[in-house]
Amino acid sequence: MATNAAKFYLKEIREKSVGYRPNWEPNKPLRIGDVGILEDDVFTVMGSLEKMGIPMEVRVDDKAGEVWDLSSENGVEVKTKAKGKMDPATPALNEMEAGFNVEFKKEKSILFRINGYKSHLIENLMSISKEIKKQYENGDWDEDWVVINELIEADSATIMMSSEGGVSVGLKAKADVGLEKLDIADANLELGVDSRGKLALSIVGKEGITPLFRAVGIKKSFFGLGKASVKSRDLGSLLGGDEEEEQEEENPFEEI
């Protein structure tokens, strides 16, 4: 069962990301084509299309250098500090440390920043649906399972959430990096020892994590468990059609 902190994070990031589901915890490993269940909006892996022998066609879009920031609009203040100077605005870093000072002014404030990412997208959902139906008829597929059909893999990311207001966190550069090259999602950062207050979530400069995904499930009508009530619209683009035009053939998938 998701904790209150997890529920808040999942709700906030889903609203800000416009259509993506946040992974809880954000550094939990996920792969494109993972199969599982969603409970309290937390995805639990039960298997994968690959392990079930269902072929995937996956497109990978590289967004190197693009920044994705879903931080709280209020309640988080980030200040940068250069090496070789004292700065009262960055109390968690000493004179010889470069990095950032993050002030979480409110409980459950979120800092979420991705620096570069790859988008993994399944392109052959229609052929996959036919294989899933075979698996279901053989008793090897649960009607409530969903498939991760799009996955965001971060080049590097920093994701933090406060447990209380008044939390001060120092993020120091592990290498001698110039101020102009410092990024709060950089993999060259680490949590400073002088941080104050409690954090509900602390992922700093982590490479290769999968914090966001999209998932689809099979409509019950496709399994013969109910009447079809929706025609193919929302996922038309994922199946190679025009999402603006309604198709005659029922789309077996629905976005979850």
Percent of the chain scoring above 70 in pLDDT: 84
Q: Is the pLDDT of residue 62 over 80?
A: yes
- Res 255: pLDDT: 85
User: 105 is in which domain, residue-wise?
Assistant: 4-215
Q: How far apart are CA 79 and CA 167, in angstroms?
A: 14
What pLDDT digit, counting tens, does each position of 10-20 carry? 999 999 999 89
Could you tell me if residue 255 is inside a domain?
no
- The pLDDT of residue 178: 65
Select the more confidently predicted residue: 85 or 126.
126
pLDDT over 70 at 244, yes or no? no
Is the pLDDT at 250 greater than 80? The verdict is no
Contacts with 134 (C-beta within 8 Å, 6 or more apart), sequence order: none
Structure pTM?
0.85
Answer whether residue 36 is part of any domain. Answer: yes
The confidence band for 225, taking pLDDT boundaries of 50, 70 and 90, is low
Assess if residue 227 is contained within a domain: no
Q: For residue 246, is it within any domain?
A: no
Residues pairing with 60 in the sheet? 120
pLDDT for 243: 46
Per-residue confidence (pLDDT) for residue 256, from 0 to 100? 81
179: pLDDT strictly greater than 70? no
* C-alpha distances out from residue 108 to 111, 188, 200, 203, 218, Å: 10, 25, 8, 15, 35
Residue 229 counted as domain residue: no
Highest mean pLDDT among 26-35, 98-107, 166-175, 211-220: 26-35
If you average pLDDT over every residue of the chain, what do you get? 85
Our count of domains for the chain comes to 1
Q: Using 50, 70 and 90 to split pLDDT, how confident is the model at 235?
A: very low
Q: What's residue 192's pLDDT?
A: 63
- pLDDT band at residue 229 under the 50/70/90 scheme: very low
174 pLDDT tier (thresholds 50, 70, 90): confident
Residue 19 lies in a domain: yes
CB 163 within 8 A of CB 92: no
**Which stretches does DSSP call E strand in the chain?**
21-22, 34-39, 42-48, 58-69, 76-81, 99-104, 110-122, 146-154, 157-162, 167-173, 189-191, 199-206, 212-218, 253-255
Task: Give the highest mean pLDDT range of 161-170, 227-236, 244-253.
Answer: 161-170
Instruction: Specify if 8 maps to a domain.
Output: yes
pLDDT for 238 beyond 70: no
Q: pLDDT-derived band of residue 37, with 50, 70 and 90 as boundaries?
A: very high
Q: Which range (98-112, 181-195, 237-251) has the least confidence? A: 237-251
Sign of CA dihedral 78, 82, 84, 85: negative
- Say if 237 falls within a structural domain: no
